[in-house]
Structure 1
Amino acid sequence: MIILLEIIVPATSANIGPGFDTLGLALNIYNKFYITEINEGLEIIGCDDKYKNEDNLVYKSIQYFYKKVKPHKNLCGLKIEIVNDIPICRGLGSSATCIVAGILAANILSESNLSKHELLKIATEIEGHPDNIAPALFGNLVVSIMENNDVYYDIIDFPEDLSFCALIPDFELSTSLSRDVLPKKIKFSDGVYNLSRSSLLISSIMNRNFDLIKFACKDKLHQDYRGPLINNYDDIVSESINLGSLGVFLSGAGPTILCIIKDADNTFINDIKSFISTLDSKWEVKHLKCDKRGSIVNIL
């Protein structure tokens, strides 16, 4: 029996300011993957030619799953179609969607029936850390940690009356470059700074003390180092707060900047559009909500 899978995976934003490699949330823009088993070979459509081969991250994730799990049902060939709506190399988890799609597809095609927790662990092994993987799988805001090579996580229901204004520039920023600028060691005071603000961020969201979010989004571990890589970063952060954003943070490794706003705020998006139109780089503005469902698999 030939199975055609439609796998829909949300974009994600990691760190959320002070929660470096531990916090992540899902956003309502999506990559879709159509994956089916064929008699032999590999056919990939919907991506750059350089990824239409065995270096494709979806395919590599499927292969990793089969080598890791060693299911009784072997894989023949694959046809993979990618419909990509999430900007690449912008800090919105596009690579995590490929990994999650590959793991979810392999679980069904191999008839392994692993739990989502087991899939999270395998996907995290590929990605390296769970901050994007966990919300891509589960949706919402997720706190995740690694302990003894396992992943532990807790899902927080993000407030329905808050949304995000994503400022997405027309330039890319590679994760490797943004990692290279980070310090090898941090000061004790910087560690305490981030611990306090990460705790405050979680409590202010859960207790709906939204006026505290702008303080809680501050960070000493990565944003100060990555900000200079992004044109007008400090100006955009400052103006976003001036215009009434509840909090501003770098999405993942950047260069996308996310602003948290109230749904009832009818002026922020137009005001920030006017401001960034005066800058040298071009920025796309997207009004987004937190995705609550996570990845969806449909058998067509």
Structure 2
Amino acid sequence: MNSLIGRKVTVKVPATSANLGPGFDTLGMALSYYDELIVEAVAGSGAVVEVIGEGAGEVATDSSNLVVKSLAFTFEKFGQKVPGLKLTAHNIIPHGRGMGSSGAAVVSGIVAAKGLLEGIVKISDQELLTIATELEGHPDNVAPALFGGLTIAWEDETGPHHKKLFVHRGVSPLELVPNHKMSTALARSLQPDSVPHDDAVFNVSRSALLIAALTQSPELLLAATEDRLHQDYRAAAMPETDSIVKLMREHGHAAVVSGAGPSVLVLASDPAQRLEAAKLAAKHYPQWKALLLAVDFKGATVALHQ
């Protein structure tokens, strides 16, 4: 335990967008938009957290902070005593907007624990995913946050699993972010318990097509991002989001609700098409922030300061 005192790590974790239209609770993508965290093990106990940027003045700054809880949970999983902690979080991923902020916080804590325990405990990628899914409840955001790229996530009796895929270099993500939030719990509560057979078949076909579109054939993205399982059910709770998705799609842009919303993700097939989509958004919804992003291929990174 004393060997940890003075250890310091820097963690970077990407924003993510889950579902990507038809891939409900299964597909996720990492985006080049990062929260950065510096964690130092200090003498004593408890945690002092400084939050700069998103969440400042809102999120907890003690041991009840989600990053700290995730870090402590990971230490305890491996039978390690949690040292005193000093955290500085530089956050830019907006909270409650469908860009994976809670998944990023969970992953930040777990990856920081891995870095602090380097040379003491070896934590595998599978263990990282299992712990993250246990804390977050589902793997569709934490898998791309951990590993980067496009991820397919699933669970079976042995736990969560993922497959990372590399996205076609033409794919150009545009994230449109409003200044209002959406509760993931509320969004989920609007889902019906069962869906028509035709809708299930429709989404299976589009999810399969989406993998092909994102990895090989970006020209198929508009058809591949159609959805009947979740977006329509949530539309009434996010009327502006629904309007933007419809406007974009009417103009040939592959727009979907980003995660649980209310942000909108446009998957353009090349940078020129993305600029057209950004101009369309600026004209009709100037109050929405447009982020021209890349697909992140690295996922979460941790650097140990000796």
Smaller-chain TM-score bracket: over 0.9
Counting only pairs closer than 5 Å after superposition, residues 144-159 of structure 1 correspond to structure 2 as 144-159=153-168
Change (3 A) 1:104 1:233: closer
Alpha carbons 1:27, 1:289 under 8 Å: kept:
yes
Match of 1:39 among 40, 43, 51: 43
How far residue 28 of structure 1 moved from its aligned partner, in angstroms, is 0.6
Structure 2 counterpart of 1:18, which letter? P
How far residue 242 of structure 1 moved from its aligned partner, in angstroms, is 3.5
Query: SS in structure 1 opposite 2:109?
Result: helix
How far residue 45 of structure 1 moved from its aligned partner, in angstroms, is 0.7
> How many percent identity over aligned positions?
36
How far residue 149 of structure 1 moved from its aligned partner, in angstroms, is 4.1
Query: SS in structure 1 opposite 2:62?
Result: coil
Corresponding residue for residue 291 of structure 1: 296
Corresponding residue for residue 98 of structure 2: 91
Whether 1:82 and 2:86 are equivalent positions in the alignment is no
Whether 1:24 and 2:28 are equivalent positions in the alignment is yes
Match of 2:14 among 7, 10, 18: 10
Whether 1:196 and 2:205 are equivalent positions in the alignment is yes
TM-score, normalisation: structure 2 = 0.91
Distance in 2, Cα, partners of 1:57 & 1:211: 40
Structure 2 counterpart of 1:206, which letter? T
Alpha carbons 1:24, 1:143 under 8 Å: kept:
yes
Corresponding residue for residue 251 of structure 1: 258
Give the RMSD, CA atoms, in angstroms. 1.5
Distance in 1, Cα, partners of 2:126 & 2:215: 24
Query: SS in structure 1 opposite 2:94?
Result: coil
Distance in 1, Cα, partners of 2:154 & 2:277: 34
How far residue 49 of structure 1 moved from its aligned partner, in angstroms, is 5.4
Corresponding residue for residue 179 of structure 2: 170
Alpha carbons 1:248, 1:260 under 8 Å: kept:
yes
> Runs of 5+ in structure 2 lacking a partner?
none
Query: SS in structure 1 opposite 2:209?
Result: helix
Q: Deviations over 1:12-60 (max 9, x none)?
A: 0000011111100000111011111111231111133551122210111
Corresponding residue for residue 104 of structure 1: 111
Whether 1:237 and 2:234 are equivalent positions in the alignment is no
Q: Deviations over 1:117-176 (max 9, x none)?
A: 211111111111110001001110000100114122111111122211111111100111
Q: How many residues are matched?
A: 292
Alpha carbons 1:138, 1:295 under 8 Å: kept:
yes
Alpha carbons 2:8, 2:116 under 8 Å: kept:
no
How far residue 193 of structure 1 moved from its aligned partner, in angstroms, is 1.5
> Runs of 5+ in structure 1 lacking a partner?
none
How far residue 184 of structure 1 moved from its aligned partner, in angstroms, is 1.6
Structure 2 counterpart of 1:10, which letter? P
Change (3 A) 1:202 1:69: same
Alpha carbons 2:6, 2:40 under 8 Å: kept:
yes
